[in-house]
Amino acid sequence: MAKELTMEQKGKRAQANLVANHIFRNAVCVFLCLLSIVPFWILFVNSTRDSVAIQSGLSLIPSTHFFENVEKLLYQCNENVPLWRYMVNSFVIAGFSTILTVYFSTMTAYGVNVYKFKGSKFAWAFIMAIMMIPAQVSSIGFFRFMYQMGLGNNYIPLIIPAIASPSTIFFMKQYMESALPLEIVDAARIDGSGEFKTFNEIAVPLMKPAVATQAIFAFIASWNNFYTPSMILTGQDKYTLPMFVQLMRGERFRSDYGIIYVGLVITILPIFVVYFALSKYIIAGVALGGVKE
Amino acid sequence: MKKNKHKTVEYGRYGYFFIAPFFLVFAIFQLWPLIYTIGLAFCENYTDTMFNVEIGPTFNGLANLKDVLISKDGKLFDTYTCHALGNTLIMWALNFLPQILLALLLAVWFTDTKVKLSGQGAYKVMVFMPNIITAATIAVLFYSLFNYPNGPVNQILTSTGLLDEPYRFFNSKWATRGLISFINFWMWYGNTMIVLTAGVLGISPSLFEAARVDGATSWQIFKKVTLPLLRPIMLFTLVNSAIGGLQMFDIPKLLTTSGYGDPDYTTRTMTMYIRDLAFTGSKQVGKASAASLVLFVVTLFFSLILFYIMRDKDAIAEKKQIKKAQKAIAARKGAN
Amino acid sequence: MKKKLLSALLSVAMVATLLVGCGGTEEAPAEEAAATTEEAAPEEAPAEEAAASTDKFYIYSWNTELQERLNYVIEAHPEVGERIEYVNVGDSAIYQEKIDALLQTPDAEDYPDMIAFEAGYIMKYTNSDYTLPVTDCGITDADLAEMYPYTLTIATDQRDGSLKGVSWQSCPGSFIYRRSLAEKYLGSQEPEAVQEQLKDWDTFLETARKIKTDSNDTVRILSSNGDVVNTFMSNKTTPWVDANGVFTMDQSMLDYMDVVAALEQEDLTWKTSQWSEEWNAGPSTDSVFGYFGCTWFLHWTIKANCGGEAVGEGTYGDWAMCQGPAPFYWGGTWLGATAGCSDTALAGTIMRALCCDTEIMTKMSEETLDYVNNKAAMQTLSDAGKGAYEFLGGQDFIAVFSPLAADVDVSWMCAYDQKVNELLDTQVTAYTTGEKDKDTAVADFKAAVAEAYPNLTVE
């Protein structure tokens, strides 16, 4: 009798435990989501308030001064370089870098994967070996060399190096091994297709999903890059968006709270849009990229 | 047959064309700068500020490296360089430990078949989000949030009575380091969580089932099945994070007031220090290169660990079996 | 179809011809508008010749101030406007880094022809071979006659005594305080009476304590601890680094650390950081007694942030100036031609118009309120009664600044100032917030200087 009761109790308790567990875990997750969103929410709310209100206390309800702040910011910027200029600059650099990264990484992966040539094994081992060397360790030499070649304040040092992106090549090769059967290449050859034509017209389309994922990451990485542009660029009209963020730390923008918050909102807005539109692919890409073994 | 072979050889040469752009660009924009940097590490090269004259570069052997590693009064590692390296490692460790723990917890939760979390997709999207936002923007955002005396955080702390008066976060070494670590943690745990979740999902479900049939508790399953099988991915994450963490720049650079690692250089990272050396004051390019070399060696050390982890698994297993067999033989011999 | 294409081409050609005509010299006679395309062709030759001297002339600076002032040059010499390519680096903190890189590349298209300097590091450039003597640009002694002597001392190459840069502004400093708060807590708002209570640093601190207690801690004398730094820096008895490359720390710098420590530990300021939002907000509230400011600071920092644009609005009109604990000097921008300057004559034209021409400078000062580096111009304005400033409750700012500008002493300056001051600031903060004691802070400061400048002898 007693045993039966305990069994029932046990079952109930387990059930209750499960529910409690469920609630607890959801609560933690909701808290973490809030942690992610609250700083940005405060940022957004403050961008809609005027400077005096911001200083007098915290609010979580948007106010009505957003466009006023935007106007002030644009005015501040227009005295030098209009705000859109930084965006266009960032977009140009990130856009070209992305195209070069995915195209040439696919090409390199194709070269290593499809052709058996003397040194192909070594080439692959080499690419793997340099994957982990970050650009920062050679930045002194990079900077001096670029200036010696007359490429200071130029976009070339920011765009062309994107061609050599070992981690993208790594990802592309992984994907290629499963998505591009060598028979297809052979079949194309029999049809008389040239090697580069085969690559451009058959291999690249087959690689589309991988190209899309890597393109998103390459774009975001280049868009967010602050280290190299801040070293290479010297004229304000060539600055990128993260460099504009650095300028906002300077004295010129710090006279008004609203301006700085609205400036930050404008810098992250494009990324927000891209992220929420493509989050599914991005997260799938991260999961894929992580399981490299 | 012969013809066929000839053909593959002919096609093989195209391989060079396909990989040529990569190697060309790598050589110009990465390899040569790296060699150049290493070369400068052994040269005296700085600017005499008084008359703005560049001195060198002239070969001076190990003088820069000595300068970077040994202090003027002869103490090993008591230099600005090593302190910067120390700051970097401290701030990295402070962010990585909570990051991997939370990511692990979430990965287990998200893959738990018993307590199924609905809305996982949304959680992942939200939690990962800070990772893709421009680090420079996040740094300035947090600078504004933790501003003294009227930043939102100080407003909350004083209005709720937690503090009597606003706190100057950026005047305290540990508050600033903590904040930098927190931002890195906050930006990266979502990423790690997704990677680990994928790792858990990659474990064969039959293993979990077998364990459950054997009556193992969730904790036992976690400890005995999930964790050991996840170890390679976790190590991979660790090394990846360490290599990334060593290059930490944007956030500490833009978070503090002066941008030189306030307070008192305690948040100055290696890359910030290299930039300070090479571009401000005497523009000590030689010494900055030597510091870069130190950074390179430390990074290389972590990369080698990664290589060790990622080497061919089957080969390892084979080796292990051979060792086991050898041991067994030896044991048998001993018994005899 | 073909005909249509042809006519379209023709009209394009016509427009192009017209444009070429417009681009040429003004003498291009109107009657030639009827000329055929064949005749237009030879006209291209002089146009090309003109192009040779329309090379872009690069001027680098870190903000828009110089760009706005250059408008006065362009007004007087319209042809200059087309050639100037003004590059704004955007932030004074990164300016030197960028300029130094550019000066290494004399062949680059965007190599600077002229660069702007701040007082904190101008000597690094004027004492080097990267800049040209102004005499090479055609500037004569007569052109320099009306300048305040210190602006010339600063920009003189210490190796051979040649002048390497000129400035259009003069920046003596003063203490700028709130009249109503002075009346309330110090008993008088008159500059002489207030000056008496701020005459030296001990008195200054006493007054700071008085204001704090009497106002129940609603008013503090300064907003930021850092506000006093320029005053102390201007009163060093020796420069940081002497001609032999020996670094010394003056006794006045130790006094400076004590004053800042007192301000910090007794809560005599609001402990904001300079140029932060809170600091900028100070002038519009009743919580800050005053600021250490200079000529430009008065208009562009205090007035811009006072919360109003006429008497009665915000704190407009409720300000006054006195000298404060010590005379000081803050800021100023110089302009110099680089060694590879592509057109020294043009550089000379710009320098002469911007920094020497009394007429232009009088106008500039009148319109922008800039305190220009031209004694005659300031005298003219003062005589015309332009100095009486409503913002200062009618006080004559020219009368206050004039004697100060004539007496600015810059013997304490050296090429290392900006960076060394930064290094000191870090240690002063560590000391005043109690992180380390004074001896450690001083030792760490010297170590930091030795680290930043390996070829200095640090004592």
Q: Does B315 touch chain C (CB under 8 A)?
A: no
Three-state SS string over chain C comes to CHHHHHHHHHHHHHHHHHHHHHHCCCCCCHHHHHCCHHHHHHHHHHHHHHHHCCCCEEEEECCCHHHHHHHHHHHHCHHHHHHEEEEECCCHHHHHHHHHHHHCCCCCCCCCCEEEEECCCHHHHHCCCCECCHHHHCCCHHHHCCCCHHHHHHCECCCCCCECCEECECCEEEEEEEHHHHHHHHCCCCHHHHHHCCCCHHHHHHHHHHHHHHCCCCCECEEEHHHHHHHHHCCCCCCCECCCCEECCCHHHHHHHHHHHHHHHCCCEEEECCCCHHHHHHHHCCCECEEEEEHHHHHHHHHCCCCCCCCCCCCCCCEEEECCCCCCECCCEEEEEECCCCCHHHHHHHHHHHHHCHHHHHHHHHHHCCCECCHHHHHHHHHCCCCECHHHCCCEHHHHHHHHHHCCCCCCCCCCHHHHHHHHHHHHHHHHCCCCCHHHHHHHHHHHHHHHCCCCEEC
The 10s digit of each residue's pLDDT in B14-62 is: 999 999 999 999 999 999 999 999 999 999 999 998 888 898 899 999 9
Find out whether A80 and C90 touch, Cβ atoms under 8 Å.
Answer: yes
From C89, C101, C281, residue closest to A147, measured CB to CB: C101
C105 Cα to chain A: minimum distance (Å): 7
Residues A109, A39, single domain; the answer is no
- Which of A78, A149, A255 should one mutate to test binding to chain C, selecting the residue with the greatest count of C CBs within 10 A? A255
Q: What is the dihedral of CA B199, B204, B210, B212, to 10 degrees?
A: 40
Domain-embedded: residue A127: yes
Collect all residues of chain B within an 8 Å Cβ-Cβ radius of residue C124.
49-50, 52
Mean pLDDT of A205-211: 91
The 10s digit of each residue's pLDDT in A124-150 is: 989 988 888 888 999 999 999 999 888
DSSP helix/strand/coil, B36 = helix
Spatial CB neighbours of C205, under 8 Å, sequence gap ≥ 6: C259, C262, C263, C268
DSSP helix/strand/coil, A231 = helix
Beta strands, E only, chain B = 43-48, 53-59
Domain-embedded: residue A229: yes
Q: Which domains does chain C have, with CATH numbers?
A: 57-170+331-384 (3.40.190.10), 173-328+410-458 (3.40.190.10)
From A147, A236, A255, residue closest to C88, measured CB to CB: A236
Q: Cβ separation of B115 and A140 shorter than 8 Å?
A: no
Give the count of beta carbons closer than 10 Å to the beta carbon of residue B235: 15
Residues A22, A60, single domain; the answer is yes
Residues A170, A243, single domain; the answer is yes
Which one has a higher pLDDT value, C407 or B316? C407
Read off the pLDDT band of B184 (50, 70, 90).
very high
From C90, C102, C278, residue closest to A80, measured CB to CB: C90
From C273, C277, C416, residue closest to B49, measured CB to CB: C416
Q: Which domains does chain B have, with CATH numbers?
A: 2-69 (no CATH), 80-327 (1.10.3720.10)
C128 Cα to chain B: minimum distance (Å): 5
Q: Cβ separation of B263 and C426 shorter than 8 Å?
A: yes
Residue C2 has pLDDT above 60, yes or no: no
**Average pLDDT across chain B, whole number:** 88
Domain-embedded: residue A269: no
Q: Does A247 touch chain C (CB under 8 A)?
A: yes
Mean pLDDT of B145-163: 89
Collect all residues of chain C within an 8 Å Cβ-Cβ radius of residue B53.
128-129
Residue A45 has pLDDT above 90, yes or no: yes
Return d(Cα A232, Cα C98) in angstroms, integer.
Answer: 9
- What pLDDT does residue C163 have? 95
Lowest mean pLDDT across A250-254, B30-34, C17-21, C228-232: C17-21
Lowest mean pLDDT across A226-230, A275-279, B215-219: B215-219
Residue C42 has pLDDT above 70, yes or no: no
Return d(Cα B59, Cα B57) in angstroms, integer.
Answer: 7
Q: How many CB pairs under 8 A join A and C?
A: 66
A180 Cα to chain B: minimum distance (Å): 16
- What pLDDT does residue C1 have? 42
The 10s digit of each residue's pLDDT in B239-297 is: 889 999 999 999 999 998 888 998 999 999 999 999 999 999 899 999 999 999 999 99
Residues A118, A235, single domain; the answer is yes
pLDDT above 90 coverage of chain C, percent:
67
- What pLDDT does residue B303 have? 83
Residues A110, A245, single domain; the answer is yes
Residues A96, A227, single domain; the answer is yes
Q: Which residue has the tokens 């706005």?
A: C68
The 10s digit of each residue's pLDDT in A233-284 is: 988 889 999 999 998 887 666 667 788 899 999 989 989 998 999 998 899 8
Collect all residues of chain B within an 8 Å Cβ-Cβ radius of residue C422.
258, 260
Residues A229, A96, single domain; the answer is yes
Find out whether C333 and C165 touch, Cβ atoms under 8 Å.
Answer: no
Return d(Cα A162, Cα A177) in angstroms, integer.
Answer: 23
Residues A84, A114, single domain; the answer is yes
Which one has a higher pLDDT value, C156 or C16? C156
Residues A206, A97, single domain; the answer is yes
CATH number at residue A96: 1.10.3720.10
pLDDT above 70 coverage of chain C, percent:
88
From C88, C94, C110, residue closest to A80, measured CB to CB: C88
Collect all residues of chain B within an 8 Å Cβ-Cβ radius of residue A136.
247, 249, 271, 274, 292, 295
Query: What is the domain count for chain A?
Result: 2
Which one has a higher pLDDT value, B103 or B231? B103
Mean pLDDT of C431-437: 91
Lowest mean pLDDT across B225-234, C41-50, C120-129, C187-196: C41-50
Cα end-to-end distance, chain B, whole Å? 58
Q: How many CB pairs under 8 A join A and B?
A: 291
The 10s digit of each residue's pLDDT in A172-204 is: 998 998 889 989 999 998 998 889 999 999 999
Residue B321 has pLDDT above 80, yes or no: no
- pTM of the prediction? 0.89
ipTM: 0.91
- What pLDDT does residue B327 have? 75
- What pLDDT does residue A132 have? 80
Residues A30, A57, single domain; the answer is yes
The 10s digit of each residue's pLDDT in B233-243 is: 888 889 889 99
Last residue of a domain, one of A66, A89, A117: A66
Sheet holding C290-294, edge to edge: C290-294, C173-178, C319-322
Q: Cβ separation of A123 and B124 shorter than 8 Å?
A: no
Q: Cβ separation of C277 and A254 shorter than 8 Å?
A: yes
Q: Does C285 touch chain A (CB under 8 A)?
A: no
The 10s digit of each residue's pLDDT in B1-11 is: 444 444 444 78
Read off the pLDDT band of B148 (50, 70, 90).
confident
The 10s digit of each residue's pLDDT in B84-93 is: 999 999 999 9
Residues A85, A60, single domain; the answer is no
The 10s digit of each residue's pLDDT in C162-218 is: 999 999 999 999 999 999 999 999 999 999 999 999 999 999 999 999 999 999 999
Residue B315 has pLDDT above 80, yes or no: no
Mean pLDDT of B159-185: 93
Which one has a higher pLDDT value, C459 or B196? B196
Residues A188, A84, single domain; the answer is yes
Collect all residues of chain A within an 8 Å Cβ-Cβ radius of residue C63.
80, 252
Q: Directed axis angle between helix C201-214 and helix C179-186, to 10°?
A: 90
Domain-embedded: residue A257: no
Instruction: Kindly list the partner chains of chain A, i.e. chains with 3 or more CB atom pairs below 8 Å.
Output: B, C
Return d(Cα A140, Cα A161) in angstroms, integer.
Answer: 16
Instruction: Kindly list the partner chains of chain B, i.e. chains with 3 or more CB atom pairs below 8 Å.
Output: A, C
Q: Cβ separation of B15 and A115 shorter than 8 Å?
A: yes
Find out whether C85 and C60 touch, Cβ atoms under 8 Å.
Answer: no
Range(s) of the domain holding residue A193: 80-249
Q: Cβ separation of A161 and B127 shorter than 8 Å?
A: no
Last residue of a domain, one of A66, A91, A113: A66
The 10s digit of each residue's pLDDT in B56-85 is: 899 999 999 999 999 888 888 999 999 999
The 10s digit of each residue's pLDDT in C277-287 is: 888 888 988 99
The 10s digit of each residue's pLDDT in C259-316 is: 999 999 999 999 988 888 888 888 988 999 999 999 889 988 899 888 888 888 889 9
Residue C336 has pLDDT above 90, yes or no: yes
- What pLDDT does residue A290 have? 53
Last residue of a domain, one of A234, A249, A264: A249
Residue C41 has pLDDT above 50, yes or no: no
Which one has a higher pLDDT value, B112 or A38? A38
Domain-embedded: residue A287: no
